[in-house]
Amino acid sequence: MRRFVFVGLFVLLILGFVAAPALIQTAKALEPIDYTGLQVVNGRDVPPKGAKHYQADQRHTPAIRVKPGEKFVIIAEDNTDGQLLVDGHYKTIPKWELEIFQHNPPNNNPSAGPIYIEGCTKNDVVAVHIHSVKPEAEGYTARYPYDVREAYLLRKYPQLDPPSIHAIKHLPGPSGTTRDGVAVYGKYTWDLDPYIGTLTLAPEREVQSFLLVRGPYGGNVDVRDFKQGSIVYLNSYNEGGLLYAGDCHASQADTEYHGLADECRAEYVLSVEVIKNKRLPHPRIKTRDGRLVAVCESGFTQQAIGEARRNLLDWLVEDYGCDPADLYALMAAAEPFRVEFYQGPGPGAWWGVQTVGVSVPESFILGKKWKRMP
């Protein structure tokens, strides 16, 4: 009997050592943020008092200037400019009469900025380090008027026809904040994994609304991996880069099916670095769990997946020295390569634009064995 007890204790000890790196990595990803001396960009008030904008425009006066490696804070408005809030709670049912819809395109996804990055030119890549995404205590999802377009659903479930709003509570998690909190919607609960829905540098010439902006410089792409612990790589087309951020999603299902995730106000802590004289075909991401994600932010499903695959293949050949013939074979044969459906297909991609990614663990590319999680 003692022998079995000893063996059991020994196995538990070994399992503890095996599990420890994952636990340590999680703790590091959510370590407390020291706000002392950090510059703050208020994305809930318009200039000159604040730094809220409805379009990315290289002519905007920078809200702040930062050095590479310097952390800064962004206070972000929600995607409907706070117009669905009543006394701090999401109660107003979306209607076309809302002020944000009296513009063309609508004033959705107001974002804070621009942030001028010292030493950045129009020929560089900016690596955005996302240190913290802290949602407020309540978010929402909703149905807009005429949001449900599947006729068979409306015939079978007529209660889906009228617009509605559904508040989602955000409770603190192990960190004591909503950064790793829990969502509560009626009897349903799930872990939050908040991210930045609109993260972009200013385009070179065009002025683009934060509803429709998207390109190699970022945009309103609703990529769930733009989350805390990730590094997001974007092309700069202006002196100083000119970074904007807003449109927090406290959580999001695959494809953001009807176009509204768990939308909310939030606070971000970011820093940036500059990679000189480099160009990307589309954004790229290194996540806190060790995945390399190559994104395509436009096109229909087949086209978007193909573009994302090419983006990843180029990345792995150029930066990791991989053989393109090996990669082409592995992308079909090796399970570690995954397609990430962030936005669309579904009614939410009504403008014909989708966002997908193709990902692979960096450890697999470096030659370490990949094992499926149970």
- Angstrom distance (rounded) from CA 253 to CA 234: 24
Residue, of 150 and 222, whose pLDDT is higher? 222
CB count, 10 Å around CB of 370? 13
Q: What is the pLDDT of residues 50-73, one digit of tens each?
A: 999 999 999 999 999 999 999 999
For the residues 331-348, what does the mean pLDDT come to? 86
DSSP per-residue string spanning 146-185: T----HHHHHH-GGGSS-EEEEEEEE--TTSSGGG-EEEE
- Angstrom distance (rounded) from CA 246 to CA 269: 12
- Angstrom distance (rounded) from CA 265 to CA 332: 40
The two structure tokens encoding residue 371:
């094992």
The two structure tokens encoding residue 276:
């000189």
Q: Is the pLDDT reported for residue 274 higher than 90?
A: yes
Which distant-in-sequence residues (6+ apart) come within 8 Å of 136 by Cβ?
170, 178, 264, 265, 266
- Angstrom distance (rounded) from CA 45 to CA 331: 46
- Angstrom distance (rounded) from CA 346 to CA 148: 11
**Alpha carbon of residue 296 to chain centroid:** 14
Local structure of 340: helix, strand or coil? strand
The two structure tokens encoding residue 372:
């499926």
Per-residue pLDDT band at 6 (split at 50, 70, 90): very low
Q: Is the pLDDT reported for residue 299 higher than 50?
A: yes
pLDDT value, residue 51: 96
* pTM reported for the whole predicted model: 0.90
The two structure tokens encoding residue 61:
């006066």
Which distant-in-sequence residues (6+ apart) come within 8 Å of 174 by Cβ?
30, 180
pLDDT value, residue 344: 77
Q: Is the pLDDT reported for residue 224 higher than 90?
A: yes
Which distant-in-sequence residues (6+ apart) come within 8 Å of 64 by Cβ?
39, 41, 72, 115, 116
Per-residue pLDDT band at 302 (split at 50, 70, 90): confident
What kind and span of H or E run contains 245?
Answer: strand 241-249
Q: Is the pLDDT reported for residue 10 higher than 50?
A: no
- Angstrom distance (rounded) from CA 251 to CA 138: 12
| Helices (runs of H) and strands (runs of E) counted in the chain | 5, 25
pLDDT value, residue 349: 59
Q: Is the pLDDT reported for residue 337 higher than 50?
A: yes
Q: Is the pLDDT reported for residue 270 higher than 60?
A: yes
pLDDT value, residue 234: 98
CB count, 10 Å around CB of 193? 19
C-alpha dihedral sign at 85, 87, 91, 95: negative
Do the bridges between strand 214-215 and strand 195-201 make them parallel or antiparallel, or are there none, so unpaired? Answer: unpaired
Q: What is the pLDDT of residues 76-117, one digit of tens each?
A: 999 999 999 999 999 999 999 999 999 999 999 999 999 999
Phi/psi at 322 (5° precision): -75, 155
| Cis amide bond preceding 48, omega within 30 | yes
Q: Is the pLDDT reported for residue 123 higher than 80?
A: yes
For the residues 128-139, what does the mean pLDDT come to? 98
Lowest mean pLDDT among 61-70, 141-150, 161-170: 141-150
Average pLDDT over all residues of the chain: 89
Q: Residue 78 carries which side chain, given as an amino acid letter? A: D
Domains of the chain: 39-289 (2.60.120.580), 290-374 (3.10.28.20)
pLDDT value, residue 16: 40
Tell me if 353 sits within 8 A of 298, measured CB to CB: yes
**Cα-trace Rg, the chain:** 22
pLDDT value, residue 353: 74
